[in-house]
């Protein structure tokens, strides 16, 4: 089994050493570029010298599709997408992240994840992000032109809809 670290795994300080029991521990180059200063940067350098591997996914298309399907795409950074894409490419991977949107997408594609911090921030439900009219209550899969409902003309807002238990 492989382990993929999100930026939050490095910023939390939880990963002081590389965990044992994993075939390989990875970060993406975009995650590496997000950790540039202070104690997290020193920790990253120590982990890199201890065997942490930098590997980028071949493609992020499937990860973007999964994030679009859950509605999380707009709230994810390029680094987040790269982590999800790498985990999807690896056969048996677990992702370490505190990012609820990343966890939501990983849950939707049945990829295991662990919280990064000691507090154990973990989603309890998966969510589908959709758009809902504030006037008539209709749901839309896509953003509406000028954030306006084509039925009643009221504002259409991003809406989090409970999907299933994680």
Q: Which tens digit of pLDDT belongs to each residue from 79-119?
A: 999 999 999 999 899 999 988 899 999 999 999 999 886 65
Interatomic CA distance for residues 4 and 9, integer angstroms: 9
Confidence of residue 138 (pLDDT cuts 50, 70, 90): confident
Domains of the chain (ranges plus CATH)?
Answer: 2-114 (3.40.50.1010), 125-165 (2.20.28.10)
Cβ contacts of 65 within 8 Å, gap of 6 or more: none
What would the mean pLDDT of 69-81 be, rounded to a whole number? 91
């Amino acid at each position: 089994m492989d382990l993929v670290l999100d930026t939050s795994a490095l910023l939390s300080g939880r990963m002081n050493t590389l965990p044992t029991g994993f075939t390989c521990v990875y970060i993406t180059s975009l995650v590496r570029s997000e950790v540039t200063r202070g104690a997290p940067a020193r920790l990253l350098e120590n982990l890199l010298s201890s065997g942490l591997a930098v590997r980028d996914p071949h493609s992020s298309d499937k990860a973007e599709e999964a994030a679009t399907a859950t509605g999380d795409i707009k709230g994810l950074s390029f680094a987040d997408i790269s982590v999800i894409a790498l985990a999807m490419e690896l056969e048996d991977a677990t992702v370490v992240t505190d990012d609820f949107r990343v966890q939501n997408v990983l849950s939707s594609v049945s990829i295991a994840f662990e919280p990064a911090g000691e507090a154990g921030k973990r989603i309890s439900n998966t969510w589908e992000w959709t758009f809902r009219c504030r006037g008539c209550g209709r749901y839309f899969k896509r953003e509406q032109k000028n954030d306006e409902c084509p039925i009643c003309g009221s504002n259409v807002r991003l809406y989090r809809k409970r999907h299933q238990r994680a």
